Structure 1
Amino acid sequence: MSINPIVTPIHAQSLSFNHVDSAEVLVAQYGAPLMVLDCDVVRQQYRALQQALPNVDLHYALKPLPHPAVVSALLAEGAYFDLATNGEVDLVNSVGVPSDRTIQTHPIKRVSDIQYALEYGCCVFVVDNINEIDKFVAFKDDVELLVRVSFPNADVLADLSKKFGCKPEHAVALINHAHNLGIRVKGLSFHVGSQTRSGDKYATAISRCADIIEQVTEAGLPALNTLDIGGGFPVQYTADVLPINIFCAPIRDALAQLPDTVRVIAEPGRFIVAPAVTNIASVMGQAERNGKTWYYLDDGIYGSFSGLMFDEAKYQTTSVKQSDELFPAVLAGPTCDSIDVISENIMLPKLNNGDLIVSTMMGAYCSCTATDFNFFKRAEMVVVNEHAFSESAVSA
């Protein structure tokens, strides 16, 4: 991961990504394909979630978009950060994030990963099994742990409890094991899954964790004072997704039942960045096949649209060229692989080579999973509104 981006000033006030001239001006200056990151949208999303979850400390999960401009914008907003790898430690460190504003939440770590985070100053870690707890014996005077609890969720884009978390009935035993080793467990964590459809899933998990917190006290173990409710807050890829304030209503109700001594944190990722990035691709060529025009773009499944293969996200795609007359079309990527098809059923005006296609909602799990397959260069990241009320920047 590059943490020293090349920076070139451009002027944000002339850019609006729903406007024809915006895409054309950017492509004329920087070429295509592009991923345009708007830090003002990052700020808006953070503030919206903060308002929906008052008194919850939001730790941005770097995984969906580990970019220095995102980290800087959120740090200025007062955010905390959720780290899972050494590379993410390097990124926040390079931006100047104080280590006490971070936690390391990967449930499975190498001992060297623990050491690396501690050298930076991050001392709160997540575990979900005895093998993992035992790794902390050598660091028991320097660390605090959160025990991750599993709450399976079938009604979700990605059920993260399938891979991580202990059963609720096993949590107290794990906490007791850590206590016998002299390791401090400060709280619990959970993640009900990505792009969760209902806030009720969080409420159920919060209630169950409240029971565990009470059981820990009844067992004579040190009281737990932290609950990490994870991420998974949904963004509006489709119209049926609830507005975030309504979505969080049952979460707020459940949190109100917790003891006042419990600090609540969350790990939003997708919600913060998905709406903040717009993709601009250009038509490389075209062909007529089975009654449809195939438009071959300079970005595709192996590039910025990689999320279509595993993330099930719904990007919103249109052409810069507008017309009342639309025709059935296919959008394909540039590589020589037949799987590289973005959309097989889209209505578009007749396009020429060089015309631009714009796709929104592409901030999460797009640029971070793009590849250079077939030696097609991945889209350059252009950052706008990097500093509030100031200049923008472009970074590679």
Structure 2
Amino acid sequence: MTHAVLDFASFSSSAPTAEEIQLIESSVAQFGAPLLLLDCDIIRQQYRALRDALPNVTLHFALKPLPHYAVVRTLLDEGASFDLASSGEVKLVAAQRVPADKTIHTHPIKRDQDICDALAYGCNVFVVDNLNELEKFVAYKEEAELLVRLSFRNSEAFADLSKKFGCSPELAIQIITRAKELGIRIKGLSFHVGSQTMNPQKYVDAINVCNDLMLKVVSLGLPALSTLDIGGGFPVSYSNKVIPIGEFCKPINEALSELPETVSVLAEPGRFIVAQAVTSVASVMGQAERDGKIWYYLDDGIYGSFSGLMFDEATYPLTTIKQDVQRYPSVLAGPTCDSIDVISEHIMLPKLDNGDLVIGRMMGAYTSATATDFNFIQRAQCIAFNEEAGQKVQLG
């Protein structure tokens, strides 16, 4: 049997290559549709790119956009650390034998059980942003260290995470002061400027505020802070080009260089690591003509892998296996009985037959992670490729 060596990372966001078509059709034949094809080589590529762009920052991959065992194992082999936010994520990294000292728990609001589960695993760095949360750690002050999360609003981001979490510098001082009174150790500060932040100045401004706050902490006679967590939000390109990550991080590195030498810096990248690494494959279940457009009903949709269209405001590049020159005004709809389950209402496609395949690019972040089983329709299976570094997929 002959084999073709496939470099999945070389695929563009346009028409599929012959090698890609072979992989997709072979995968559908073996596993059925819909599918999510996860390329671990792209995980490595993206992690290394960000590591090189932020050479003095410890990267804690945020599991929430794609909590998949193959992602964890691939990044662990690359030397990555991990950012956890739930007991489920603690179980995932523990099952993959991630050393607990390579993890932090950054959910600002936690149940007591969440704290206990993380501490039992060995993760002892947590985040707080209010006095109520601080008091939860009185019982665990001998084990836990805390980061105080600041709020930096960003209306331009996909998700302005400071709307829900974070505190002002003034409240941070109150929290740090109260922590000293309670005997709770404050390790440092953290922030998140928002998902898909296009302007690096948002990081620079936040870093400068944190630097000033660290100096103020010392001037007030409070214990010096040793850590700054600059969060995630590093942008990737869906339909619009973004600043290359090396250029994007230059002003961030300049701002970080102004911090005291005793301060270590962490980051929580998520989307940047995984968005590009997954390709979705859906098949046409049926079709109908409505208002001059052909509606194609796929076996994946808004309640499945395309959930990011609702929750994440992402725009996924779409293409088809069939590449006829003639195109027609078309609609791509999902499989559920809900009328909002429409993937794209304005797309030009070749004439498709039932069973033809539609490909979605940039499908790694907040797709399978936010998919549901609405209508009891099974969500897409995720298949990992290139799990061993340097070993390409073998087709045959």
For the criterion TM > 0.5, the same-fold answer is: yes
- Which residue does the alignment assign to 1:386? 387
2: distance between equivalents of 1:240 and 1:44? 18
Whole-angstrom CA distance in 2 between matches of 1:204 and 1:107: 22
Maintained 8 Å contact 1:195/1:234: yes
The within-5 A match list for 1:219-368 is: 219-368=220-369
Paired position in structure 1 for 2:98: 97
Give the superposition deviation at 1:238.
Answer: 2.5
Offset, 1:239: 2.8
Aligned pairs, number? 383
What code does the residue aligned with 2:83 have?
D
Q: What code does the residue aligned with 1:189 have?
A: S
Q: What is the identity, as a one-letter code, of the residue corresponding to 1:186?
A: K
Distance 1:169 1:360 in 2: 44
Where structure 1 has 5 or more consecutive residues not aligned to the other structure, the ranges are 1-10
| AA partner of residue 336 (structure 1) | C
Q: Is the 8 A contact 2:149 2:189 kept in 1?
A: yes
Q: Secondary structure at the match of 1:43?
A: helix
Instruction: Report the alpha carbon displacement of residue 13 of structure 1 after superposing the two structures with TM.
Output: 3.2
> Could you report, residue by residue, the CA deviation over 1:231-270 in whole angstroms, capped at 9, with x for unpaired residues?
0111111333211112112111111111111000000001
1:57 lines up with 2:58 in the alignment: yes
Counterpart CA distance in 1 for 2:316 and 2:145 is 40
**Distance in 2 of aligned mates of 1:201 and 1:391:** 39
Matches within 5 A, 1:209-224: 209-224=210-225
Alignment-mate amino acid for residue 255 of structure 2 = A
RMSD between superposed Cα atoms in Å: 1.4
Give the secondary-structure state (helix, strand or coil) at the position aligned to 1:13: strand
For residues 164-214 of structure 1, give each alpha carbon's deviation from its aligned partner in whole angstroms, at most 9, with x where no partner exists.
Answer: 111122211210100110011010000000011101000000000000000
| 1:13 matches 2:14 | no
Report if the CA contact (8 A) 1:386-1:392 is conserved: no
Q: Give the equivalent residue in structure 1 for 2:77.
A: 76
Percent of aligned positions with the same letter in both sequences?
65
Structure-2 separation of matches of 1:371 and 1:146: 33
Moved more, 162-171 or 37-46: 162-171
CA-CA distance at 1:389 after TM superposition: 2.6
Quote the Cα distance in structure 2 between the aligned partners of 1:71 and 1:392.
19
Letter of the structure 1 residue corresponding to residue 117 of structure 2: Y
How far did residue 391 of structure 1 move? Answer: 6.9
Tell me the residue number matched to 1:48: 49
1:121-175 C-alpha deviation (Å, 9 max, x unpaired): 0000000111111111111111111000111111111100011111122211210
Aligned 8 A contact 1:161 1:192 in 2: yes
2:330–2:345 Cα contact (<8 Å) kept: yes
Tell me the distance in 1 between the aligned counterparts of 2:156 and 2:249: 17
Letter in 2 for 1:274: A
Question: What is the TM-score normalised by the length of structure 2?
Answer: 0.94
After superposing on structure 2, the runs of 4+ consecutive aligned residues of structure 1 that deviate more than 6 Å are none
